[in-house]
Chains A and B, each alone.
Chain A
Amino acid sequence: MAFVRLEQVAKSFRNEKGQSTEAIASLDVSCERGELLAVIGPTGCGKTTLLRLIAGLITPDSGTVTIDGEAVRGIRPETTLVFQQYSLFPWRTVLENVAFGPEMKGVPGSERFRTAREYIELAGLAGFERAFPHELSGGMKQRTALARALASEPDLLLMDEPFGALDERTRHALQDQLLLIRKRRNLTILFVTHSIDEALYLADRVLVMRDRPGSVLREYRIELKRPRDRRSRVFTDLHLSIRDRLEDVLAGSSNGTQRSLQEQGSCT
């Protein structure tokens, strides 16, 4: 039995004019416990909608979302989400941000700061406990967001293009950090990205989605050993194969005409 399971899920959104757009239709996704699943696809394919459905922030129009055998009804305490944009509380220090989850559970001061320090260290942020978010670089902010999410001790971590805004070197460093954390904690991770490279480097399995409405186009099981070599033959072959697949999607959905690169920039 899969840990996270979406069956025949559909979700539409209405704009101000009352027109309805189908974000995702008849979507089937499953994710095993402990798996790192990456989801990739063009702009408007409903990647973010998928995460928000699993997080319980929105409810599906039809179909079912279950986690650990139970239907998702609203926010589940053991699920947490790392956002694409910087979601840190700017009035709190790094330490106070990371301690937020335990604080909400009523963990007393000294104990929750001890927990927070542990995760700050795990995220590679030691020494920055007293800094405020505006004093941090983009990479440091996302490390803090990751530490904050982990400190609430989730079993399911949802990540919405968390490293999308970072430069390449920082992104690679954070990817390695994530793999390291995953090794130490028993975590199921669902990772949305628009970078093929990132998906291939991190995931056990990659789902390629198509857009309008979003559904799963193809699935790749990545059985490369870690640490993965980005320059290896298998890696580059897979990279090309997924890229072709994505280009087919883009070509198909706009009646054969190639869409501009700008348009496929990010998926929100």
Chain B
Amino acid sequence: MLKRFFPALLLPLLLLVLWETAAVGAGNPALIPRIESVASILAHPGGDLLRTGTYLHHIAVSGLRVIIGFMLAAAAGIPLGLLAGRKLLFSRMLTPLVELLRPLCPIAWIPFALAIFRTWAVTDIFGLRYSSSIFAQVQLGMLFVIFYGGFFPIFLNTVDGVRSVKNIHLEAGMLLGADQRQLFRKVIFPSALPQILTGLRVGLGICWMVIIAAEMMPGSDAGLGYLIMFSYELAEMDILIACMILIGLVGTLLSFGLKKIADRTSFWQAKEA
């Protein structure tokens, strides 16, 4: 046990020691806070931070934005990817546009999205202008940039997954009596599934990064990205660092969760040689 974990823990421990030494040396919590003050913030999930609510509330707001935007990206990326991977016509239609837009970083779209969508939230579409529900925090502009960030890896991996279906599996399927529809559902889709899931995992990671940046923009008044920016403005370095840790933790958790699901469905892939 010790042999295995000691090398892994060595550098993080060193980092903590350096941090604490620097904090004590600086003697200025607005520059480098002590570990204890950051840990105490993290240890009190119910505590109100800077009169903006608890960090759990901010995580929920960021999480909801990401989940909705990500689901929209998947709902568009997977079907379009399946079509483009299978039908040359769709591939010819979509590929140039995708290659044109993909290198454009989603964060570069944030000002544009703000200009077009202002601060309208999902609830506004349904005429609930002053709703106090958490959905009032889900701004259309943010959904747009999250969608944009998640779409490309999901789409491109789906296309690739469909294209790498083995010819021998297609022929075996046809010879065993599968029609075009069955071939798609019973051979092409399961064969491409591991790579579709890889696309989803990469896409979710990008969505999470994009939302933090989007929340730092004006017009936002909740979410981890907002909280980190607000604590910077008030020189509350302990909250700022606590936010960084939370952003990292949530990102890791999201990635880990999807990997668990992916491993379950792609167990055959690595072993099939």
Complex interface: stretch among B96-104, B183-191, B232-240: B183-191
A47 to B187, CA, bound (A): 27
Q: Are B176 and A90 in contact (CB under 8 A)?
A: no
Q: Are A80 and B268 in contact (CB under 8 A)?
A: no
Complex interface: stretch among B27-35, B151-159, B165-173: B165-173
Residues on A with beta carbons closer than 8 Å to the beta carbon of B265: 91
Q: Are A133 and B172 in contact (CB under 8 A)?
A: no
Given contacts A87-B169, A134-B272, contact A80 B175 (CB under 8 A): yes
A69-109: CB near B (< 8 Å → 1, else 0) gives 00000010101110101011111100000001101110000
Q: Are A75 and B172 in contact (CB under 8 A)?
A: no
**9 pairs across A/B with beta carbons < 8 Å?**
A75-B175, A77-B177, A79-B175, A81-B172, A81-B175, A83-B168, A87-B168, A87-B171, A132-B268
CB proximity of B221 to chain A, nearest CB, Å: 47
A57 to B170, CA, bound (A): 11
Residues on A with beta carbons closer than 8 Å to the beta carbon of B187: 89
Q: Are B176 and A152 in contact (CB under 8 A)?
A: yes
Residues on B with beta carbons closer than 8 Å to the beta carbon of A133: 268, 272
Find A148's partner among B168, B176, B190, B272 (CB 8 Å cutoff): B176
Find B269's partner among A77, A79, A90, A103 (CB 8 Å cutoff): A90
Given contacts A80-B175, A87-B172, A101-B176, contact A134 B271 (CB under 8 A): yes
Q: How large is the interface on B (under 10, 10 to 19, 20 to 34, 35 or more residues)?
A: 20 to 34
A55 at the binding interface (Cβ < 8 Å): yes
B178 at the binding interface (Cβ < 8 Å): yes
A85 to B174, CA, bound (A): 16
Q: How large is the interface on A (under 10, 10 to 19, 20 to 34, 35 or more residues)?
A: 20 to 34
Residues on A with beta carbons closer than 8 Å to the beta carbon of B182: 104
Residues on B with beta carbons closer than 8 Å to the beta carbon of A83: 168, 171-172
* Closest partner residue, chain A, to B267 (CB atom): A132
A105 to B178, CA, bound (A): 8
Residues on A with beta carbons closer than 8 Å to the beta carbon of B190: 89, 91-92
Q: Counting chain A CB atoms within 10 Å of each CB, which of B190, B193, B272 scores highest?
A: B272
Residues on A with beta carbons closer than 8 Å to the beta carbon of B168: 83, 85, 87
A160 to B48, CA, bound (A): 72
Find B171's partner among A57, A79, A89, A91 (CB 8 Å cutoff): A57
CB proximity of A200 to chain B, nearest CB, Å: 28
CB proximity of B255 to chain A, nearest CB, Å: 23
Q: Are A91 and B175 in contact (CB under 8 A)?
A: no
Find A104's partner among B176, B267, B271 (CB 8 Å cutoff): B176
